Amino acid sequence: MSVAAKAELSTERDLEWSGGILRSLDRVHNLTSGTISISSVHTQEPKDTPILASSVASIAVGARWKAKLRLQGDARVCELKAFGLATRALKGWSLLYDEGDESNGWRVYLLRSKEGKFTKRDIFVLPRRDLSSFLKDIADTKRLSELCLPSTHDSLSLYGWPISQCQSRDTPFSVQLQSGIRVFDIRMAVVDGRLVAHHGIMPEKTSFQNVLSIAHAFLTDQRTCKETIVMSIKQEDFNTTPPSEFSKLVHDEIYGGAGGRDMWFLEDRIPQLGEVRGKVIMLSRFGGDGSGWENGLEGMGIHPTAWPDSLKEGFQWTCKDTLVRTSDWYNIPSFFSIPDKVSLATAVLLPPSTGYTQPTLNISFFSAGSFPLALPPVVAKGFGFPAWKLGVEGVNARLGEWLLQNLSPSSSATPRGWVFTDFFITPSGVAPLLVECNFKSAAPSSEKTQ
């Protein structure tokens, strides 16, 4: 479809009965940098309502089940049709439209929520950013603690379903890089004297050398050379391999691998983006006393002073002048704890009640897993048909809804932090929402009603 082509989309629009008449009032959130015109197509004399950048408008769709909304920008027209079998779903969200290029493309989301007797519909229009190179549009002076970075938990765990697998086999390390993931949770064990990805005792096949080769190719490509990667490295075979031996292998494979030492930022502090473009920042979650590393422990990258195991209320630690607020409650009792898990994990992404009083990095794991009632695929994806009250909504879908609510120009909150998820592509569209948090305008919003 050409850039200016019209896309007629079957949206899962929810129409409610009121006095025997179908009625609807939709809100459109314009998160783009330009003005969008909106009109209700079914009316005899459609009236265009302009929605300025970073603002919200309400529009009455009316009493016809065939009502349509037309969204029009400088070089794009998109018609959203009130049609489809799922029109009576009570809540949920979906990515309706994802077309065009970085200069004039859109991503359009629909969010349904229950408000009294009626189902409220919010339509979000986002610019279609290039997820493979979005950091190029962020100022060099931004510290990495000020960004919202899509991250994956157990990034290389592609095997061992349903207990050990945490990412789809369709999204290996290389695909994650192109999909906007910028913080990676790399867990490894020693196999025949080399580092290989593991999740617990489960071998995940990918070697550390393969990871280094892919990272180097990505960071030296002209299109993506202004990106940066954070790589959390954790030892999984601590019962059989001494921490000092594991630490030495990490050091030796980094120095002898693709990109060598020059590809890495190994200082124990949170840098500005301009310092680390084209580099990998190490977050060392493995032991050792720093022997063999340049500057000892100070040369092993960001080095947490503590990491309590599955602490529900979360914990804090410091990295030089930066406070690190961390949520990593993974051992939840069952899928019934998913709402609590999401509530705690999202809270860390917003400022504390006192506001930010010092440089602060938020790290939040939305991943969880325990046997038998909270396996990673169940926690991340949910099951059944939750929008119809026939199932359980997973963590990722709940995160997507929360992000949409906070991305609205009418919301004063701006999520930030390193956001770790399992099966990050399910449902489609979560990573672009995390990326968009970096570009949310601080301008005051205005609301119009047609």
Could you report the per-residue pLDDT of 180-236, keeping only the tens digit for each? 999 999 999 999 999 999 999 999 999 999 999 999 999 999 999 999 999 999 999
What is the CB neighbour count within 10 angstroms for residue 70?
Answer: 16
H helices present in 300-375, as ranges: 338-347
Could you report the per-residue pLDDT of 27-79, keeping only the tens digit for each? 899 999 999 998 876 655 567 889 999 999 887 655 444 557 788 888 788 87
Q: So what's the pLDDT on residue 134?
A: 98
Burial track 83-101 (b if 16+ CB lie within 10 A, e otherwise):
beebbebebbbbbbbbbbe
pLDDT-based confidence at residue 286 (cuts at 50, 70, 90)? very high
Concatenated DSSP letters for 117-136?
A: TEEEEEEEEEE---GGGGGG
Could you report the per-residue pLDDT of 396-442, keeping only the tens digit for each? 999 999 999 999 998 999 999 999 999 999 999 999 999 999 999 74
pLDDT-based confidence at residue 16 (cuts at 50, 70, 90)? very low
What are the residue boundaries of the structural domains of the chain, listed by start?
6-128, 131-439
Could you report the per-residue pLDDT of 326-379, keeping only the tens digit for each? 999 999 999 999 999 999 999 999 999 999 999 999 999 999 999 999 999 999
257 and 213 Cβ atoms separated by less than 8 Å? yes
pLDDT at 248 over 80: yes
Q: So what's the pLDDT on residue 115?
A: 77
Proportion of the chain above pLDDT 70, given as a percent = 87
CATH entry 3.20.20.190 includes domain 131-439: yes
Can you count the helices (H) and strands (E) in the chain? 8, 26
Q: So what's the pLDDT on residue 66?
A: 52
Q: Which residues pair with 193 in a beta bridge?
A: none
424 and 390 Cβ atoms separated by less than 8 Å? no
Say what the pTM is: 0.92
> Between these two residues, 8 and 143, which has the higher pLDDT value?
143
Q: So what's the pLDDT on residue 305?
A: 87
**Mean pLDDT along residues 11-37:** 62
Q: So what's the pLDDT on residue 364?
A: 98
- C-alpha 300/C-alpha 286 separation (Å) is 10
Read off the tokens for 19: 């006095």
Residue with tokens 């794009």: 76
Cα–chain-centroid distance for residue 98? 17
- C-alpha 251/C-alpha 257 separation (Å) is 10
**Mean pLDDT along residues 3-13:** 34
Q: So what's the pLDDT on residue 40?
A: 73
Between the alpha carbon of residue 3 and those of residues 7, 78, 353, 388, the distances in Å are 10, 11, 45, 35
Q: So what's the pLDDT on residue 20?
A: 36
Q: Which of 97, 109, 110 is nearest to 14 (CA)?
A: 110
Q: So what's the pLDDT on residue 388?
A: 82
Give the strand pairing for 264-265 and 194-199. Answer: unpaired
Could you report the per-residue pLDDT of 290-326, keeping only the tens digit for each? 999 999 999 999 999 889 999 999 999 999 999 999 9
- C-alpha 17/C-alpha 14 separation (Å) is 10
CA gyration radius, the chain: 23
Q: So what's the pLDDT on residue 43?
A: 55
> Between these two residues, 333 and 90, which has the higher pLDDT value?
333
Q: So what's the pLDDT on residue 103?
A: 84
Cα–chain-centroid distance for residue 264? 24
